[in-house]
Amino acid sequence: MDVLQKMLSWLPQLLDGARITILMTITATCAGVILGTFLALGKISRNVVISKLCSAYIFFFRGTPLLMQLYFLYYAVPMFLPALTINSRFLAAFIAYGLNSGAYCAELIRAAIQSIDPGQSEAARALGLTYGQTMRLLIIPQSIRRLVPPVGNEFIMMLKDVSLVSIISLGDLTKVTRSINSSAATPLVYIPSMIIYLIITAFFTFVFNRVESHMAKKE
């Protein structure tokens, strides 16, 4: 009973951390999807320069650790280029996570677009639709349906990646947990903390499943 009481007393702090974790996950994944859409279209573009640029971007952000990107953006960039100093921790982390997620989402979106039978766009072009119209009216709406499961996956990955923000002193759920662990000198706090993570994951899994079945109905 004593243990339960202790866990309950940590709850307000943990929930405060969870708020940052959730907020960061949602905003960064949204930014990632938007950025990823442009990167994906850029990568499959017939313009060689744009295509190569987008490929290079994706290669860089998928090829280096997120932790290092965060460190680099927050600590290293301001040392080289003082004009690019970001003083808000949340904003800095949001930019790092958004840029990183953009690269991953780009690959998901590219795969979704390319999974649509090329015969469809050929038919659309034969009917006189432009490339833009074909994409906007035909390919993208269908890709979105196929995108829901992988984006849901990306979202849950992001939820846990956000735990890296402790390095820039931003109090997400993991950081709060670790602080309580050391100040209360008990690792017990990991239990309620992991339960909170599971609850968040369960909730968003549920949401994404609902969206998925809703879209399937429309098909």
Partner 1 sequence: MKKIVCIVLALILLLALTACGSSSKKDDASLTLTAGKLAVSAEIGYPPMEYFDADGSTPIGFDVEMMTEIAKRMGLELDLIDTAWDGIFAGLDSNKYDMVMSSCSITPSRQENYLMSKPYVQNAIELLVPVDSDITGIDSVSGKKVAVQGETTSHDYLRDNDTGCEIMDYDKVINCFDELKLGRVDAVLTDSVVAAYYLGDELDNYKVVWVNSEAEPIGITFRKGNTALCEAVEKVLDEMFADGTAAKIAAKYFGDSAGVEGIR
Token pair belonging to 53: 């640029």
Among 23, 51, 78, 163, binds partner 1 (CB under 8 A): 78
Among 8, 194, 207, 216, binds partner 1 (CB under 8 A): 194
Q: Is 79 in the site for partner 1 (CB under 8 A)?
A: yes
CB of 78 to partner 1, least distance (A): 5
Q: Is 72 in the site for partner 1 (CB under 8 A)?
A: no
Q: Is 141 in the site for partner 1 (CB under 8 A)?
A: no
Residue with tokens 């905003």: 27
Q: Is 179 in the site for partner 1 (CB under 8 A)?
A: yes
Q: Is 198 in the site for partner 1 (CB under 8 A)?
A: yes
In this structure, the number of other CB atoms found within 10 A of the CB of residue 203 comes to 11
Buried b (16+ CB within 10 A) or exposed e, 85-122: ebeeebebbbbbbbbbbbbbbbbbbbebbeebeeeebe
Answer yes or no: are the C-beta atoms of 112 and 146 closer than 8 Å: yes
CA 92-76-181 angle, 5° bins: 60
Q: Is 169 in the site for partner 1 (CB under 8 A)?
A: yes
Residues 6+ apart with CB under 8 A from 197: 159, 160, 173
Of the listed pieces 29-37, 129-137, 139-147, 176-184, which binds partner 1 according to CB under 8 A? 176-184
Among 56, 91, 167, 184, binds partner 1 (CB under 8 A): 167
CB of 61 to partner 1, least distance (A): 23
Q: Is 87 in the site for partner 1 (CB under 8 A)?
A: yes
C-alpha–C-alpha distance, residues 80 and 155, integer Å: 32
Q: Is 9 in the site for partner 1 (CB under 8 A)?
A: no
Which parts of this chain interact with partner 1 (CB under 8 A)?
A: 75, 78-79, 85, 87, 166-169, 178-179, 181-183, 185, 187, 190-191, 194-195, 198, 202, 206
